[in-house]
Structure 1
Amino acid sequence: MVSNGWNIWIDTGGTFTDCIGIDPDGVMHKAKVLSSSSLRGSVVKSLKANRYIIEQDWEAPSRFIEGFQLNLLGITHPKCLVTSFDAQNNTLEIDTYLEDLEEAERISFEVISPYEAPILGCRLLTKTAPDEDLPPMSIRLATTKGTNALLENKTAPTMLLINEGFGDLLIIGDQKRQDLFAKNVIKPDLLYNEVCELSCRISANGEILKDFQPGNQDEIITKFLKEPYAAFAVCLMNSYQNQTHEQELRKYLEDLGASFISVSSDLSPVIKILPRAQTTVVNASLSPVLKKYLDSVKSGIGRSSLHVMTSAGGLINADNFEPKDSLLSGPAGGVVGASSIGRNNGFQKVISFDMGGTSTDVARFDHDFDYVFEHKVGHAKLNAPALSIETVAAGGGSICSYDGNKLTVGPDSAGAYPGPACYGAGGPLSLTDINLLLGRLDEANFGIPIALEQSEVKFKQLLENIAETSGENPDRKEILEGFLQIANERMANAIRKVSMRKGYDPSEYALVGFGGAGAQHVCAIADELDINNILIPSHAGLLSAYGLGTSVIEQFAEKQVLENLSELESKLDSYFKSLTEEAKMALQEKEDVRQSQIHVRKELAFMRLKGQDSTIKIDYSENTDLKTAFKEAYKNRYGHWIEGSKIEVESIRAVASTRPSEDEFQLADYTQKNTGPVRTKPIQFHGQTLDTPVYIRNQVATGVRVEGPALILDPYSTIVIEPGWNASVKDDGTLLLSSSTNNELIRKQSQSQSVALELFTNRFTSIAEEMGEMLKRTARSVNVKERMDFSCALLNREGELVVNAPHIPVHLGALGLCIRRLSESISMQQGDVIVTNHPAYGGSHLPDVTVVTPIFSASKQLLGYAASRAHHAEIGGTRPGSMPPSARTLSEEGVVIPPMYLVRAGVPQWDSIRERLTNAIYPTRAIEENMADLQAAVAANHRGAESLRTLAERYGEDTVTSYMAAIKNEAAIKCRQMLKKIPDSTSDSLEYLDDGSTLKAVIKKEGEQLEIDFSGTEKNHPGNLNATPAIVNSVIMYVLRLLIDEPLPLNEGLLDPITIRLPECMLNPKFSEDPADCPAVVGGNTETSQRLVDLLLKPFNELACSQGTMNNVLFGNEQFGYYETIGGGTGAGPGFHGTDAVHHHMTNTAGTDPEILEHRYPVRLEKYAVRKESGGVGEYRGGNGIERELTFLESVSLSVLTQHRVEVPYGLKGGKPGAAGKQWVIRKDGSRLALSSISGEELEAGDRFIIQTPGGGGYGEKANGN
């Protein structure tokens, strides 16, 4: 901190800028201004021409706003400036006559300053007039300037420079779609304007394969430099191993006159080109924006120092600041502030709860911060250190509505403008309005004029909508509190994500509530999570700014390692010594920090089992046994340990910082005698309206206990003390809230159907998501942990799907059928866990292994089932990867698991399943991975079962099972509503597989019923394209959900209005006892499922055919095996084009990063691009496929399992078909071999494999000249 000067901490948010200043005498001052650099007030009386009496709470001195522009809110008028301001008499004068002001009694206005918002805040805190210089000060700034520019796409013109063949890398991304059920798949906007591909290349081990040739791209770069603020993002393959080409390219660009150059190996020298390229593009595109902003701030503060908060919660000099580090700076300030408040009050474990207008940020602090080094902001995945912060779209502005069946809160927000209805600008009903109508907010405490009557109008309209739709008169109190509870449970679920889903119990933490709206909700959320202690800081409305004052200046240093621990241990000390010196030197040279002020805060090793992607962070010191520490951490996180596994050190990092400040400042005096309530106010709590005492916060003395219910007013926030809670003031002004009663009765409060349905939908969905997190966290295989090829579900006691956590649509409808088949063939009692992969029992193909746990209540009544289905990348069979293209029988595809016990009456049966997996004709090649993934599925099901039991104990067994039925019924209602809109008809749909096999469906629509008859479909397929009834169910449910096209819990209620006629055929083949006599099915799951979507969507004319294949590619030898699926083009539809290079319909797995692929496998990726002109022509064109070219560096066996290589993806309504896919091999002697749809070949080192995936069909006839 500055001695003899001001210390000022400023958090610039999207709407408000929060400011705290410590003056030279150590006294704290606070201010809040609009981030639009303006202040608001009201004109209340006209004195004479152009002179007015106003109301305002700025605490600004006279003359302060002279020269500011005055705008009347919602009124068009000539431009005018403030010429005089008298703070003592609250009068101002303007230079223009405004007729609107002469007669009006009260008109809201804003005065807009000529400064950036932080400078306005500085001048307000220091009471500095416009014609005076600011006093000496040290400023610490957190800003959303970069975040807002990124999310609003207001970035600078940017060129991406990347290797030849990779220009489309960021278009393809990880090839997953964000919305699993989107007909029109929307990819995020690109942040660059042009791409320049360079013909240079470095290998995975850092060897230069092709030199960079400057001059070849002079013309395109020189032309681009004419753009104002032109920025360049340089990212080349394997530059984490060798920076030579990137640094040569930087020099080349500088010589051409470029000013804004971001180089990936400078910003993040770690493996994975996709997030590194995204990071580099984000940094480049924001560099001109942030530089202009920070230069403007610096020009306004003269020679005062300016430090900026990073996403990691540390400070850095503004001159050395990179935009990539700014995107979570405001939320990070809040986490740092919350941790400081916790420590000051004796809590080393806190969860921060920062609720604002549009979203809520939560984070966990346990003696230290929880860091992540890869995170997402918007759609961009960034390689940059950050605090681990979970954001949920629930805030004061979250829109509250009724969807015809249930209440919803968010995710859409009213925003800063028009804002909630009570702001009086025509905004929608929002959570702020709900709190106001319940009495939980005080109209006089908003700081801006409030229109309560507008909240009433919007709420009355909602009640009328509910009454008209449901035929019942809704209870006002139940609906109001229902909205509140829905929002609270969503926010509580965000806290579960940073705690329970990572293995931490939130009840062991104190909850720190802050932000503009946090203190209104914090008691209810603590009740939901069984948290007994809450801290409300004295700066609750300004805590992110306060956090800046408790932060330290810091620098990170990192090194990519990628070596086995056993070969590395002797070198680690020197590696860390070098890294810590680098971090300390950066503090000395960039921050001008003296050596004596520096300490090394963290030395971190990021470790994993060889072959996995996810790492575990281990604190390192000279005395740490890394192997033992990693083993313990691995078991704690994943629940098991795999003996004999190699441990890899992925990277190491060091954090050096200044020592925490011990400076003190004067706090407000909390010893005044006026500690009683100033009045009472009617507030609704849990169905009752209570006369509630209202307190003024700074009048409540230290040590005084306030019993709930109570309302405590603060200038920047409102604190609601719920019944059953009490509050007392601590020495630093923090309110400590403690739970004084058991709030079980609150949980059983009466609720309307529309409220309870949404609550139980969220509760059941949360359980399924928790299962998914547990499975992902405890599994061993890359296929589950990274590609997320699994689904988890809750089913009712009849074995019908209620909710699931879907990642892969082909699993969706299969689990219900599977459980019903299992219940017919094997006894399932309390303490049992069943496993199967058999297609005759609801399985799909052998790699998809299903684990089922029946869930019994405390009274031993069956509540339902927890089920997990995960793809095991190796389960035996004639070829590695368990997807042999030439298989003709089930036994050739792998180990067949009939229904059997994994656990019986609580006793594990691991030996039995191990014996089956290892003693088959074609046994598994990865038994330990199989066992670990099965153990993970058992753990995931156990979590789901425990959570459902807890729900039944809390709300009653009958209530839980009745809402399982209600959720299923809701899906049935939505399906009938969709069918009702479709004209009655009978349609024959016919599709052919590439080998000529027929898929046929007669689809008869009558009223609210749909019949699908598959008679006429090919008899058993001679190869592996046979499907199962479980797959047919999945496809039908997926297609129905696509046609409904609105959010709803996906379950078997969708099938209630559907009649399925499925005779024995390739979609329902006969299975005998002997797997050698059963048909092969592996392609039925991946390929036939996609072609069934093509078949069933066609008669509805809503979407042309997408690529219709998963493009399965497998290669390997005795040392390794690799499997991937590749995206393609989606079909166009009415009003939208198809999307390029993405997975659609029955799969959605992530692609392997190109650098990871080359690092782990003997292969070089030569090209990864959009396949131009492959989408079907039409009024709306189909999406383009992908082109991928690989050179093998060792001999491998290659298999492809694909479709649409002969049959083209159809267009609709005159649109042309998409291009069929192609694949071929080019031998190292130059000879070329075309591969069929399903094929296998033996390749040598130097051979190349090229695959071009299909494009989507076009929609509508293309007009001439279009």
Structure 2
Amino acid sequence: VIERVDAKDNVLIPLNLDDLAPRLQAAFDDGIRAIAIVLMHGYRVPAHELAIAELARKIGFTQVSTSHGTSPMIKFVGRGDTTVADAYLSPILRRYIDRLARDIDQSKGAKLQLMQSNGGLTDASLFQGKDAILSGPAGGIVGAVKTAKQAGFDKVITFDMGGTSTDVAHYENAYERVFDTVVAGVRIHAPMMLIHTVAAGGGSICRFEHGRFQVGPESAGANPGPACYRRGGPLAVTDCNAMLGKLQPQYFPHLFGPNQDEALDVAPVRAGFAALAAEIEAETGIRRSEEEIASGFLRIAVENMANAIKKISVQRGYDVTEYALQCFGGAGGQHACLIADVLGMKTVLIHPFAGVLSAYGMGLADVTALRERTLEAGFDAGLMARLQRELDELAAQSEDELAGQDIASARIETHRYVHLRYDGSDTALPVPFGSIASMTADFEAAYQSRFGFLMPDKALVAATISVESIGRNFDVENNVTAASDAPLEILDHVRCFMDDQFVETPVYARSAIAAGQRIMGPALIAEATGTNVIEPGWQAEMTDIGNLVVRRVVQLAPRVAIGTSCDPVMLEVFNNLFMSIAEQMGYTLQNTALSVNVKERLDFSCAIFDPEGALIANAPHMPVHLGSMGESVRAVIRSNDGNINAGDAFVLNNPYNGGTHLPDITVITPVFDDDGRDILFFVASRGHHPDVGGRTPGSAPPDSKHIDEEGVLIDNFKLVDGGVYREAEMRAILNGAKYPARNTDQNIADLRAQLAANEKGVRELHKMVTHYGLKTVVAYMGHVQDNAEESVRRVIDVLKDGSFTYPMDNGQKVKVTISINRASRSATVDFTGTSKQGANNFNAPAAVCRAAVLYVFRTLVADDIPMNEGCLKPVEIILPDDCMLKAQYPAAVIAGNVETSQIVTDTLYGALGVMAAAQGTMNNFFYGNATYQYYETLCGGSGAGPDFDGTDAVHTHMTNSRLTDPEVLEWRYPVLLESFEIRHGSGGAGQHNGGDGVRRRLRFLEDM
């Protein structure tokens, strides 16, 4: 489309409809009837989108979605994806709704309403595709919350477990919604319930691979389904419950077999687990019973689901022990007690319609209308009149929408919200509209609760406003469950495997349980839509409105005794647990950081290390960080022997002590035992700061020859001393170099965020030690590394010797020879022959080279294992002392991190014959001045392989960051993004083609 509007609402290029009209007509003539219209800054200046929409309708397009009408919010990519999704889905939904409407006699007062992803109903005529994406799970949350409140619970974790996945959500006084989310890789910018989904359901496939029990993410689905479904399916979580006696075929719906009228078949389940037991014994030498194996798989599934709940609760600062677990879905009742135990929750709620609560919830939902608008305005008294005016406008729109659905004004409630954030931050939190003082107080309380600190020196910004009008549904009367003095009828006694032993377990029919009657676990409670397993130590009570309230009445042992020898089940549990903690650290860092580099581009990494500095686990962040941070941790240990105390934290960016380049600053925190005597772990977070000084903004001079030209070198500085944050001393370092940092406030804010991330890791690791015991945790720190080591050795077994030389544009070269020792199942990676350290900035720290080797060997392992220190145990790296890959002070290194690291990776893949080279660069782009500093890494084409083409326009190898949204970029910086496109045909032709690169063109609006 020929047109352009800038971030200040100026029309730079007028809309050319004469050019567009024939192309739209050609698309229409090809049979296309739906169109999505997305223009830069269209949410602010919609005139061009409206004109195109009018033209499209005149031509005959039947579905016209405009971005300002679909999602009037900043962020071009998210708004664009949402508009495309709306244009794609709406015609399909409209055809379905029209068919449905024909079958409903609306003349008798029946109304057709549909559930939206935001948790509210709307009239069928107003339903849009963008609002349908999570409408089913949203119905479950509404049902769970409303029935929980009827039962007297105001704090609820919803747990919806079905056949292929589990959906979880958090509720306290109000529904939590998000306005940006990713569904199946598509960014959706529309109000949705905050739901986290994990690939763990009754159909999740169970398998034993490479010494570990693994559950999912693959699912058996409904067809063939689990092995017990009589269709020849694989072993799945449902089969585990059948094997353990927790699912009894006679009390399960008879829906299986060729005529869909037979019971579950346990015979293939027993045969499958017997075969698996033999396989495990052959590999490990340990004989396990079929029930022990099924119990192990179930434990992993439960841990995976518990980790999902942590992401929407613990990770965000909520104490789940104060909540009830509202359990529903076809498989929910089988696992609720086990999941509650993992999380320390004491109460489980199971509604009489738990098996179909998502459908029931739609019947309970209110009719809602939501409106939102981007402001991005300074939050002060001068803004109040505008806030009042624009909120009133949105409220009038949303209330009119409800009135148009015949909802009386007396039943309409309207809530107004202002979404506030700190200036420079991206995390906006909604607060009810009120006075400046009340909104500020509400924001600070919410921010403190979420992140654990405030930034009082930062101004507040009103990012967006939103309005929700609710047409209250009529309350549903609860069925009263009668009390009875009659003894509780036991249907049967069955043999179940619980708590690692067989127990005689009574079976009850839910329909026969009277109000006030209690059932002590172990027990099974069967009902039409599911089976509820009451584990030992739990007691179920029927309430007078038909709910089962299950409470832990026997205190759970504070510590789980599992031993220190390597158990394949616990190996998977600890793999996932260590990873989960690192991910929680990353979430905290992303949400509390100030710089765009961390918040939007995700140029950061978080990891856990053992007391010697060996990498234990990391979140899937930046590969160049994760393989090198261990060297930084070991440098801190060496430099502070005997002077590391509880409450300390260290900061460094020294490229000769594990750093990569100066902008990558690492904060390291020791994790002590409860007595403060022994170090149990280290946690570390590394973030790319936009500027740390140097000759040029962004700390990346293209011609640097000395490290001082690249910025402030920080080595082993104690940032926190015994709990005291040494901000003044840190500022002095940043301001005291030959070329000082340009935005010290931003550096300090990001360092504070890194400390917050580390503290999150410290707390979660302490919880782990309390739960499992120190000896067990220490043992599994070793076991996860041993497992990764063995995985790499299996890859080495099939590798061949190889050598490769990569000539660089500046005349230097990287050479590697890889030698495989079959007897020891090890590899030697020898960089002898690589150019010597040069008088340029292409010298790479040894830690960067090590990171590249770790990355390459980890990528050769197809199995899902963490990238930890064990991956390099079978690999010897040889770096000559004067090599450009072993930079010595005062060598400049900025290009070594962002250019040479990619070349090393390509060289290694070349020697192994695995993949052709990519670009040999991270495509770094730095610009700035005294006021603005910005840095981004651009995507490009990946190399082809022996049996695959390369991929167009992706980040490759040692970089994995995200570009700032074009509208955010132009809003915050004086630049104009003129084009960003795939450079077709640039990847190279061959039997398998290389991936194409990109072309990006920006215009600076100030001197840079």
TM category (shorter chain) comes to over 0.9
Deviation at 1:498, TM superposition (A): 0.7
1:692 paired with 2:505, answer yes
- Alignment pair present for 1:992 and 2:807: yes
Distance 1:1165 1:909, change over 3 A: closer
> Which of the residues 383, 386, 391 maps onto 1:576?
391
1:634 Cα offset (Å) = 3.2
| Cα distance in 2 for residues equivalent to 1:376 and 1:410 | 21
Output the amino acid matched with 1:422: C
SS in 2 for 1:653: strand
Question: Quick check: 1:1027–1:1066 contact (8 Å CA) kept in 2?
Answer: no
- The answer for the alignment partner of 1:213 in structure 2 is 16
Matching residue of 1:15: none
Query: Could you tell me which residue of structure 2 aligns to residue 260 of structure 1?
Result: 63
Is 1:328 equivalent to 2:141 in the alignment? no
Offset of 1:1023 from its aligned partner? 1.8
For 1:1164, what is the secondary structure of its paired residue?
A: strand
Q: Which residue of 2 aligns with 1:1041?
A: 858
| TM superposition shift of 1:1048 | 0.9
CA gap of 1:1154–1:695, structure 2 versus 1, over 3 A, is same
CA contact (8 A) 1:674 1:700 kept: no
C-alpha distance in structure 2 between counterparts of 1:609 and 1:746, whole Å: 41
1:408, 1:431 → 2: CA distance? 11
Candidates 144, 150, 155, aligned match of 1:344: 150
SS in structure 1 of the partner of residue 804 of structure 2: strand
8 Å CA contact retained: 1:1017, 1:1065: no
Contact kept? 2:210, 2:791, Cα under 8 Å? no
**Shift of residue 327, structure 1, vs aligned partner:** 1.0
> Which secondary structure does the structure 2 equivalent of 1:587 belong to?
helix
Change (3 A) 1:609 1:289: same
Q: Which amino acid is 1:659 matched to?
A: R
Q: 1:277 aligns with which of 57, 66, 80?
A: 80
- What amino acid is the match of 1:891? D
Quote the offset at 1:798 in angstroms: 2.4
Q: Deviations over 1:108-166 (max 9, x none)?
A: xxxxxxxxxxxxxxxxxxxxxxxxxxxxxxxxxxxxxxxxxxxxxxxxxxxxxxxxxxx
Q: Which amino acid aligns with 2:234?
A: P
DSSP 3-state at the match of 2:374: strand
Structure 1 position 961, deviation (Å)? 1.0
What percent identity do the matched residue pairs reach? Answer: 39
> Residue 635 of structure 1: CA displacement?
3.6
Q: Alpha-carbon deviation of 1:858?
A: 3.2
Query: Cα distance 1:611–1:1016, how it changes in 2: closer, same or farther (>3 A)?
Result: same
Classify 1:882/1:670 alpha carbon distance in 2 versus 1 (closer, same or farther; 3 Å): farther
Q: For residue 838 of structure 1, what is the aligned residue in structure 2?
A: 654
* CA shift for structure 1 position 1150: 0.5
State the Cα distance separating 1:219 from its structure 2 match: 4.4
Q: Which amino acid in the other structure matches residue 230 of structure 1?
A: R
- Using a 3 Å threshold, how does the CA distance of structure 1 residues 825 and 745 change in structure 2: closer, same or farther? closer
Q: Which residue of 1 aligns with 2:259?
A: none
The one of 660, 665, 680 aligned to 2:493: 680
- 1:357 matched to which residue of 2? 163
Residue of structure 2 in register with 1:1133 after alignment? 945
1:495 aligns with 2:309: yes
Write the letter of the residue equivalent to 1:264. Answer: S
Partner in structure 1 of residue 935 of structure 2 = 1123
Matched residues in 2 for 1:663 and 1:833: separation? 55
Q: What is the alpha-carbon distance in structure 1 between the residues aligned to residue 807 and residue 918 of structure 2?
A: 15
Q: Of the candidates 1040, 1043, 1050, which is equivalent to residue 867 of structure 2?
A: 1050
Structure 1 SS opposite 2:19 = coil
Equivalent residues in 2 for 1:1102-1251 (5 A)?
1102-1196=914-1008
Q: Secondary structure at the match of 1:1152?
A: coil
Deviation of the 1:623 alpha carbon? 7.3
Alpha-carbon separation, structure 2, partners of 1:974 and 1:1016 = 30
Deviation at 1:674, TM superposition (A): 5.8
Distance 2:637 2:135 in 1: 53
- The secondary structure found in structure 1 opposite 2:180 is strand
Partner of 1:12: none
Partner SS for 1:830: coil
Question: Alignment partner of 2:103: what SS?
Answer: helix
**Structure 1 partner of 2:891:** 1079
CA-based RMSD: 1.9
CA distance in 2, matches of 1:904, 1:1128: 44
Please identify which structure carries the higher helix content: 2
Cα deviations by residue, 1:549-590 (Å, 9 ceiling, x for unpaired): 22111101122212111352332112211221111112123x
Match of 2:619 among 792, 802, 805: 805
CA contact (8 A) 1:779 1:785 kept: yes
Q: Cα distance, 1:749 vs. partner? A: 4.9
- What's the CA shift for 1:663? 4.7
Distance 1:275 1:401 in 2: 37
Aligned in 2, Cα 1:211/1:934: closer, same or farther, shift over 3 Å? closer
Give the distance between the partners of 1:544 and 1:389, measured in 2 at CA. Answer: 13
2:7 alignment partner in structure 1: 204
Q: Distance in 2 between matches of 1:746 and 1:877?
A: 52
Instruction: Please name the residue that 2:354 is paired with.
Output: 540
Instruction: Give the direction of change, closer, same or farther, for the CA distance of 1:1068–1:1108 in structure 2 (3 Å limit).
Output: closer
SS of 1:995's equivalent in the other structure is: coil
Q: Does residue 70 of structure 2 align to residue 232 of structure 1?
A: no
Structure-2 change in CA distance of 1:975 and 1:270 (3 Å) = same
Q: Shift of residue 227 of structure 1?
A: 5.5
- What secondary structure does 2:533 align onto? strand
**What is the letter of the counterpart of residue 586 of structure 2?**
G
After superposition, the Cα gap between the structure-2 partners of 1:752 and 1:884, relative to the gap in structure 1 and judged at 3 Å, is closer
1:638 corresponding residue in structure 2: 451
TM-superposed CA distance for 1:475, in Å, is: 3.4
Given that 2:481 and 2:515 are in contact with CA atoms closer than 8 Å, whether structure 1 keeps it comes out as no
Q: Structure 1 residue 826: deviation in Å?
A: 1.5
Partners of 2:737 and 2:315 in 1: CA distance: 37
Q: Is the 8 A contact 2:559 2:772 kept in 1?
A: no
Any conservation in 2 of the 1:279–1:324 contact (CA below 8 Å)? yes
The SS at the match of 2:729 is helix
The alignment status of 1:431 with 2:237, answered yes or no, reads yes
Q: Which has the larger radius of gyration?
A: 1
State the 1:622 CA deviation: 5.1
Q: Show the counterpart of 1:927.
A: 744
Counterpart code for 1:285? Y
Instruction: Give the CA deviation at 1:698.
Output: 1.1
Distance 1:307-1:431 versus aligned 2 partners, 3 A rule: same
| Post-superposition CA distance 1:691-735 (Å, at most 9, x none) | 011110010000111111110001001100011110111121011
1:1069 positional shift: 4.6
Gaps of 5+ in 1: 1-197, 1073-1077, 1197-1266
SS in 2 for 1:661: coil
Match of 1:1011 among 828, 847, 864: 828
Give per-residue Cα distances to partners, 1:1208-1237, cap 9 Å, x unaligned: xxxxxxxxxxxxxxxxxxxxxxxxxxxxxx
- CA drift of 1:745 comes to 7.2
Amino acid at match of 2:816: A
Whole-Å separation in 2 of the counterparts to 1:632 and 1:1005: 59
SS in 2 for 1:662: coil
Using structure 1 for the length normalisation, give the TM-score: 0.76
Deviation at 1:1134, TM superposition (A): 2.3
How many angstroms apart in 2 are the aligned matches of 1:1134 and 1:463? 37
Give the Å deviation of 1:201.
2.0
> More deviation in 885-894 or 359-368?
885-894
Aligned CA distance change for structure 1 residues 510 and 315 (closer, same or farther; 3 Å): same
Contact 2:949/2:994 (8 A) holds in 1: yes
Q: How many residues align?
A: 990
Post-superposition shift, 1:419?
0.5
- Report the Cα distance in structure 1 between the residues aligned to 2:334 and 2:252, rounded to whole angstroms: 13
Cα deviation 1:868-910 (Å, max 9, x = unaligned)? 2111112111222112223221111111111121223444333
State the shift of 1:837 in Å: 1.0
Hey, what does 2:596 align to over in structure 1?
A: 782
Shift of 1:993: 2.2
2:493–2:506 CA contact under 8 A, matched in 1: yes
SS in structure 2 opposite 1:527? helix
Q: Give, as a single letter, the amino acid of the residue that structure 2 aligns with 1:958.
A: K
- Determine the C-alpha separation between the residues in 1 that align with 2:988 and 2:972: 37
Cα distance in 2 for partners of 1:472, 1:392 equals 31
Counterparts of residues 876-887 of structure 1 (less than 5 Å): 876-887=693-704
If the length of structure 2 is used for normalisation, what is the TM-score? Answer: 0.95
Instruction: Kindly provide the CA deviation profile for residues 586-638 of structure 1, in whole angstroms up to 9, marking residues without a partner as x.
Output: 2123x2323232220x2111122233333222221357633343344334333
1:1044-1078 per-residue CA deviation (whole Å, 9 max, x = no partner) reads 23311111111111111111235455645xxxxx1
In structure 2, what residue type is equivalent to 1:569?
M
**How far apart in 2 are the matches of 1:553 and 1:672?**
43
